[in-house]
Each structure stands twice: as C-alpha cells, then as structure tokens.
Amino acid sequence: MNTRPFPGGDARTIVLVLVLALLGAGCALRGGAGKKGKDPDMVSGRVVDPDGRPIPFARISVLPVGEWEDAKRRKKGFEPPPEGSRGLAVSTEGGRWLVDHMSDDMGTDVTLTTDYYYEITVYKPGFHPWKDSILYERGTLQLDVTLEPDAIEIEDAGHMVDTGVDDTNTGKGVLRQGE
C-alpha cells in the first residue's frame, strides 16, 4: 500500500518542483538565465485618463516605420522588420499593456528590431487617439499614455447664423418645406 500523500512523490518533492518552476518563470521574464540582468525586449506601458484612472480595453498598435540613421550604432547584418509587421495589444482592467513581439503578414512571430523607430497608436472609443513615433533601442521601453476624452462642449450663443440676403449669397436652389 502506498503511504505517500501524493502519487509520484512526497509533499517536499512537489513543493521543490513548484519552487523551481516559479524560479524558471522568473528567469524567463527577466530575459532568461543566460541573459542575467538583461531586460527583455518589449514595449509596455499604461493607459490612463487625465485624472490618472486606468483605461481598460484600449487598443495599442506598434508599427515599424524606419531605422535610426546613426551609422556608429548600426550593427553588421542589420535586418529591418519584414514588410507589414505589426504588434498589437489591448490594455488590461488596470490600463497596462505589453508588446514583446510583432507578427508579419503571414502571422509569423517577429522580434522587435533594436535601434528602430516604431509608430505607436493608442485608441479607445470615447477618447482622442494618441500616436507618436518612438525610437526603440533595446530592453524594456516603458511608455505611459494619457488619453483625453473625446467630448466636445458646445456653447449655445444664440442666433449665430446670419440669415440675411445680400450680394455674397451665390447659392441657387429651392427650399421646399416638408421634403
């Protein structure tokens, strides 16, 4: 008869396996064990309203637009992102978002190219879209965005339309009531 509380091992073994799995996940989030201390390549941020409240479900688009022209920083074998590449994200309930790769026209994952400009657009219905071209160098680029409400305030100033007829009227036509 098996007296172990869990099939395949005792509680200490299972706890040890869970701890090692969590440590491995932490290494992966920091760029892997082989890249000690290196930030992972990603663009991330937070979308908020003017009062600092998070905006959930905003759409974020990251499009490559051009390489940095500084010849000193160019790498041998530099490859621009494939034509039609795009990174997409949607902000969480807390307004946070993350793009750690893009996809090409065929849906294949493409890494973020370093020393390259990306056009980042943040859109949420009810707010003015935000768009800017950002130089992505390497590691983690944190980009926090404040979206302005799309509300337009109109002040009623009375009769502002001049309905008088004078020499400047050039329109021709017939106004028929009820049509």
Q: pLDDT tens across 38-89, in order? A: 678 899 999 999 999 999 999 999 999 876 665 445 666 667 788 889 999 9
Q: What is the pLDDT of residues 24-39, one digit of tens each?
A: 444 343 343 334 556 7
Do 132 and 82 fall within a single domain?
A: yes
Question: Quick check: is 22 in a domain?
Answer: yes
Q: Provide mean pLDDT across the span 129-136.
A: 92
Do 29 and 45 fall within a single domain?
A: no
Do 57 and 130 fall within a single domain?
A: yes
The per-residue pLDDT for 154 is: 59
Do 45 and 24 fall within a single domain?
A: no
Residue 135: CATH number of its domain: 2.60.40.10
The per-residue pLDDT for 10 is: 59
Whose tokens are 């793009």? That residue is: 99
More confident residue, 144 or 67: 144
Do 76 and 61 fall within a single domain?
A: yes
Do 22 and 91 fall within a single domain?
A: no
The per-residue pLDDT for 79 is: 74
Are 104 and 85 in contact by the 8 Å Cβ rule? The answer is: yes
Q: Is the pLDDT of residue 99 over 70?
A: yes
pTM above 0.75, yes or no: no
Do 62 and 133 fall within a single domain?
A: yes
Question: Quick check: is 159 in a domain?
Answer: no
Angle at 88 between CA 77 and CA 24, to 5 degrees: 75
Question: Quick check: is 95 in a domain?
Answer: yes
Do 142 and 106 fall within a single domain?
A: yes
The per-residue pLDDT for 33 is: 37
Proportion of the chain above pLDDT 70, given as a percent:
56
pLDDT band for position 171 (cuts 50, 70, 90)? very low
Collapse the DSSP code of 141 into the 3-class scheme (helix H, G, I; strand E, B; otherwise coil) and give the result.
Answer: strand
Question: Quick check: is 155 in a domain?
Answer: no
The per-residue pLDDT for 125 is: 93
The per-residue pLDDT for 15 is: 46
Do 108 and 85 fall within a single domain?
A: yes
**Around 4, how many Cα atoms within 13 Å sit in the side-chain half-sphere?**
9
The per-residue pLDDT for 142 is: 94
Do 24 and 47 fall within a single domain?
A: no
Do 21 and 78 fall within a single domain?
A: no
Do 110 and 56 fall within a single domain?
A: yes
Q: Is the pLDDT of residue 137 over 70?
A: yes
Which DSSP symbol is given to 127?
B
How many whole angstroms separate alpha carbon 12 and alpha carbon 145?
Answer: 46
Question: Quick check: is 117 in a domain?
Answer: yes
Range(s) of the domain holding residue 44: 39-146
Structural domain count of the chain: 2
